[in-house]
Amino acid sequence: MRFIQPTFAAFVAIALSACSGMKLKEADVNRNPPGDWNNRSFMKNTSDFRFHLPENVGLLVTPVDNGKYQVIRDPIVPDKFTPREDIIKDGAVYRSIITQSAALKGGYLTFASELSASDAVDYSITDFSRAEVPWTMFPAAKIRAAAAAPNPTGIKRLWIQSLILTRIVSNSSTIVDCNGEAAAPAFKVGANCHTESSQLSGDYGIAAVFLDIDKWAQENPSGGSAENIAKLMREVKNRISVAKPGDATSIASYISVQPFAGELVNFRRKN
């Protein structure tokens, strides 16, 4: 599936095929990423999990090094359930012109520290697809059995409830004479006028909603009715869906926070 780079119109004050004696409005730079993005639990070894997304839902993993995760068990999913991949329609998360000072915001913007003082990069984040085990189908008995299995080294055991795949695209720019001519789109940052280059670079992000199976089993002793478990998981889903930065304490301690944004279109990957 081809990713289509969003238009640059939001940053262009004058959209002409050429600009002479350019009078450009100052570009909106270094916007804050939204809370949805800041709350996500990212997996840095994206290549291990982003291919065949549905097959990786339900995996039991453990953190191994600086945001990377290692698989420790095959997927745990409900009986007679096959995860599917859903394409996210209109999944735009973030768009901004990025300069060197954006690095202070941290997260995925730390790359800006490598920019020169005059660089300006068009940077966009778009959610592409998602796969999940619905909370209403939470396989409580299987999760409890997995938690009861020996864990002699005491590693953290995390069940992947859902995965969301994101496309990250950046486009560098070239400084041009503000009194000369430049092919549009063009924009102004400080004293410099820029024109968009034709060289795009792309990357992927992948985030997960994790459930710590040992914490869950400890806080939810066996014997609870299926109805109570379903109610608990519905509450978890509702809290995650409306979570904002700083709201993590309202989520059960065994759940990572990853609010959902975007309209889903059902799509089953063909083998």
Q: What number is the average pLDDT over the span 136-144?
A: 90
158's enclosing H/E stretch is: strand 158-176
Q: 46 lies in a domain?
A: yes
Q: 4 lies in a domain?
A: no
Q: 271 lies in a domain?
A: no
Contact 256, 209 (CB under 8 A): yes
The predicted structure's pLDDT at residue 154: 93
pLDDT digits (tens, 9 = 90+) for 12-25: 443 333 444 556 77
Q: To the nearest whole percent, how much of the chain has pLDDT over 70?
A: 72
Residue 8 has pLDDT above 90, yes or no: no
Give the model's confidence band at 184: pLDDT under 50 very low, under 70 low, under 90 confident, else very high. Answer: low
Q: To the nearest whole percent, how much of the chain has pLDDT over 90?
A: 32
Q: 195 lies in a domain?
A: yes
Alpha helix positions (H), 14-60 = 35-38, 53-56
The predicted structure's pLDDT at residue 261: 38
The predicted structure's pLDDT at residue 6: 46
Contact 117, 174 (CB under 8 A): no
Domain membership of residue 97 as a residue range? 9-266
Q: 146 lies in a domain?
A: yes
The pTM of the full predicted model, rounded to 2 decimals, is 0.75
Q: 160 lies in a domain?
A: yes
Q: 216 lies in a domain?
A: yes
**Number of neighbours of residue 187 by Cβ within 10 angstroms:** 27
Using CA atoms in the order 27, 30, 32, 33, what is the torsion angle rounded to 10 degrees? 100
Quick one: CA dihedral 93, 51, 254, 109, positive or negative? negative
Residue 98 has pLDDT above 70, yes or no: yes
Q: pLDDT averaged over the chain?
A: 78
Residue 64 has pLDDT above 60, yes or no: yes
Domains contained in the chain, number: 1
Q: 2 lies in a domain?
A: no
**Most confident range, picked from 102-106, 108-112, 210-214, 238-242:** 210-214
